[in-house]
Structure 1
C-alpha cells in the first residue's frame, strides 16, 4: 500500500513497496505540489492532486516501470576513458607539463591508449587487462616488440592518468598499482651499451676540423655544443645580447621548443638550475665576434627581417627561429656525408662532460657547468667506462712489473 510523507513546504515523498523484491524494499520519490494548488484554500484539491501522483507512482513501482534515479545518477557519474582524457589534460597535464611534453604524451594517448581503452568505463579497466595489453605492444611500423624506453613512456602516461582518476575519486582503486614498471633485460642493456654515445678527445679534434665544411653558423653551433654542453634548444635561443665578450661567456635562460600543437616557440629552460652563464674558450668567442660581422651584413641585405625584436645568432633566414629538429637533421647528414662515427646530437652535451671528466675535473664542477639539478644525475652519466680514464687508473700498476726490480728472476 502506497503512502505520502510531507517533507516541508510544498514537497512530499511518495512511497510504495516493490513487489519484485523478496524483502519488498520501499521505493520512494519526492514531488513538489504546483504553486497554484498549494496556495488554494481547498484541501480537497490538494488531496486530489496528491492522490493522483501517488497512484501514478504506485502503478509505476508495481509494474516495474519506475525510474530509479539513484541508479541513473550513479550511472551518469561513470566516465569512459575517452571522456576522462580531456579532464586529465586540463586538470593535470597543463598544470605540470610543458607544451612539448604534452604533445608527446597526447601522441601516445591518441595512437596507443584511446584505440585500446577509449570505450571502457574507467572503473571497469582492470590490472590484468593492462598487463596483457602491455605485454603485446609492438612497434607500429616494424611489428617488432616495443623497446623498453617506449614501453616505459606508455607506462608513465597510463600511471599519470589512473593516479589522477584515483585521487579525484573517479575510480576507487588504481589498476596501475599492480602493473610492473618496464625495465631493460640483459640483451637490451648490452645493445644500448654497444652504441656510441660520446666522441673521444682524439675524435673531437678531428671533428672540429671537419666542421669547417659546413656553413659558419652550423660550424659554430655544433662547436659550441661540444665545448659548452648546451642542450639543443638552448643554443638555438641564444641572441647577441646574451654574449658577453669580457666574461667570455654565454647566458642561457630560454630555449626553442614546441608547444602542445607542434608549433615552434621560445620557452623556458628545462629547470631553474639550467639558467646561467656558460664560460667558453676565448678562441671560440673570437670566432663568434668574427661571425657577427657576417651576420650583421646578412641582416642589412635581408629584404624583410621577420623578427624585429629578436636577434637569434642561429636562425633559418630572415631572423626566424629554427625548428628544434633542424639541427638534428643537419647533424645526421653531416656525419653520414663525412663518414664520421654516429653519435646523437645530444651526445655532444655528454661529450662536453666527458672531456671535462677525462681532464680531471671533479663531478661537482661538471654538474655546475652542465647545469644538472642533482649531482646524482651527473654521477650516473659520467661514472661509466672511459678508455682514457681506465688507462690513467692502471698507470700506477705498471710500477709493479717484476722485471723493473733488479732482483727479479
Structure 2
C-alpha cells in the first residue's frame, strides 16, 4: 500500500513497493498539492487528495505502468510519446513533421536531459534563441510548429504523470512580429470576384481534369488532398454534392497514401453549383472511355476522379506545381493553391453569407477560425462600406437657410 512523505511546501513524495521485483524496491513520484487545497483549513480535504494520489500511484506501480521520473530522458521518451499519443491522434504526415522538428532542433539541445529536470526557463531560452543554421530568424509559422511538437510531448508526459509540473505552461506561444505581419499583408491570399471570373475562363486552356480540379477548389473550398481523394461513388448528381471523408497525403516514409481528413468536421457533403456538376458528369463519360481504352490500368478497384493516368493517385504536391506553372504562364498574380480555399470563403463573405454558413461549408471545427480568417476586409466589402458613405457628400446635402 502506497504512502506519502511531506517534502515541504505543497510537495509530497508518494512511495509504493514494486511487486514485480524480488526485492520489492521502492518506487516514488513527487506531486504538488493544488493551491486551493493547500490553503484550505480542512485537513480532511488534504488527506482525501493525498489518498487519491497514493491510490493512483499504487495502481501504476502494481500494474507495471509506472516509469520512474529520473530514469527517462527526453530522447528516450519521444518514442513513447509517438506510440502512445501521436500514432492515435495525428496523421502520418503530421507525425513525420513533428518528429523531424523534435529530432532536428529539440533533441540536440535537451535529448540527453532527464525529462523531469527540464525547466521552463530552459525552454523559454531555447525558443528565444532559436534560429536557422545560417543564423537567420525562423518564420513564425515554423517556430510555432516546433513549439506545438514540444508542447505535445510535455503535455503527454504530464498527463501520464511522469512529471509533476508541465514546464511548457510558462512558455508563450510564438507570435508574429509587426514586421512579419506587414510582409504577410503584402502577400496576396485570395482572388477577388472579378479575378475569379478571369481565372475560370483561363482554366479552359488546361486539360479537363485540372480545369475541374482547380475550379472545384475555388468554388467548393476543398483542401488540396481532399479533392485528390474523391472517387466517382463520392459524386452525387441528384444531391448536387461531393462527399469528403479522406485525403491523399504522405506517410512517414514520404510515400503518397490515402489518409483521414484533417478533422471530424471536415467529413461531409459539399454542395456544388449545378453547372459544375453537369460538367463533372460529362467529364465522367470521358474518364470511363479513357479507362476502357487504357491497356495497362493500374488503379485496381479505385476510381479516383483526378488521377495522373492509369488510375493511380496523384502525388499530393502535383497540384501545387501545376497551379504555379499555370499562373506563371497566364501572367496571373500568384496566390498559393491553398488560397483557392480562401477564395471560396471570400466569395461567400462578399455574397453576404453569415459566418455559420461559411463555417459549415468550409468545414471548420470552430466558428472562431472562420471569423479570424474571413472577417478581414476584402476589396468588395471595403468598397461597399465606402459607397454607403456617399450620401454624406456635402455637395449632395441640403441645409436649411
Residue 162 of structure 2: SS of its match in structure 1? coil
Aligned counterpart for 1:196 among listed residues 188, 196, 200:
188
Q: TM-score, normalised by structure 1?
A: 0.77
1:344 corresponds to: 336
Q: Distance in 1 between matches of 2:264 and 2:117?
A: 41
Aligned counterpart for 2:168 among listed residues 176, 187, 197:
176
Post-superposition CA distance 1:356-382 (Å, at most 9, x none)? 111112222212211222222211211
Residue 250 of structure 1: SS of its match in structure 2? strand
Residue 395 of structure 2: SS of its match in structure 1? helix
2:90 corresponds to: 97
1:250 corresponds to: 242
- 2:228, 2:314 within 8 Å by CA — same for their partners in 1? yes
2:80 corresponds to: 87
- 2:240, 2:274 within 8 Å by CA — same for their partners in 1? yes
Please, which moves more after superposition, 349-358 or 171-180? 171-180
Q: TM-score, normalised by structure 2?
A: 0.79
Post-superposition CA distance 1:288-311 (Å, at most 9, x none)? 122222211221121222222111
Residue 303 of structure 1: SS of its match in structure 2? coil
1:394 corresponds to: 386
Deviation at 1:177, TM superposition (A): 2.8
Residue 403 of structure 1: SS of its match in structure 2? coil
1:138 corresponds to: 131
Q: Distance in 1 between matches of 2:86 and 2:74?
A: 16
Aligned counterpart for 1:264 among listed residues 229, 234, 256:
256
Q: Does 1:321 align with 2:313?
A: yes
- 1:255, 1:266 within 8 Å by CA — same for their partners in 2? yes
- 1:162, 1:175 within 8 Å by CA — same for their partners in 2? yes
1:119 corresponds to: 112
- 2:70, 2:114 within 8 Å by CA — same for their partners in 1? no
- 1:402, 1:408 within 8 Å by CA — same for their partners in 2? no
Residue 270 of structure 2: SS of its match in structure 1? strand
Q: Distance in 1 between matches of 2:268 and 2:166?
A: 41
Change (3 A) 1:131 1:273: closer
2:268 corresponds to: 276
- 2:69, 2:162 within 8 Å by CA — same for their partners in 1? no
- 1:81, 1:120 within 8 Å by CA — same for their partners in 2? yes
Q: Distance in 2 between matches of 1:235 and 1:111?
A: 32
Residue 310 of structure 2: SS of its match in structure 1? coil
Q: CA RMSD in A?
A: 2.3
1:233 corresponds to: 225
Post-superposition CA distance 1:22-44 (Å, at most 9, x none)? xxxxxxx979xxxxxxxxxxxxx
1:78 corresponds to: 71
Q: Distance in 2 between matches of 1:99 and 1:105?
A: 10
Q: Distance in 1 between matches of 2:282 and 2:262?
A: 30
Aligned counterpart for 1:296 among listed residues 288, 297, 301:
288
1:367 corresponds to: 359
Deviation at 1:406, TM superposition (A): 4.8
Residue 251 of structure 1: SS of its match in structure 2? strand
Q: Distance in 1 between matches of 2:282 and 2:126?
A: 58
Please, which moves more after superposition, 163-172 or 310-319? 163-172
Q: Does 1:404 align with 2:388?
A: no
Q: Which runs of 4+ in 1 moved over 6 A?
A: none
Post-superposition CA distance 1:254-279 (Å, at most 9, x none)? 21122233222222222222222222
Q: Does 1:218 align with 2:204?
A: no
Q: Distance in 1 between matches of 2:217 and 2:206?
A: 15
Q: Count residues in correspondence.
A: 338
Residue 242 of structure 2: SS of its match in structure 1? strand
Q: Distance in 2 between matches of 1:154 and 1:273?
A: 25
2:322 corresponds to: 330
Unaligned runs of 5+ in 2: 1-21, 25-66
Deviation at 1:76, TM superposition (A): 9.5
Residue 277 of structure 1: SS of its match in structure 2? strand
Deviation at 1:167, TM superposition (A): 2.9
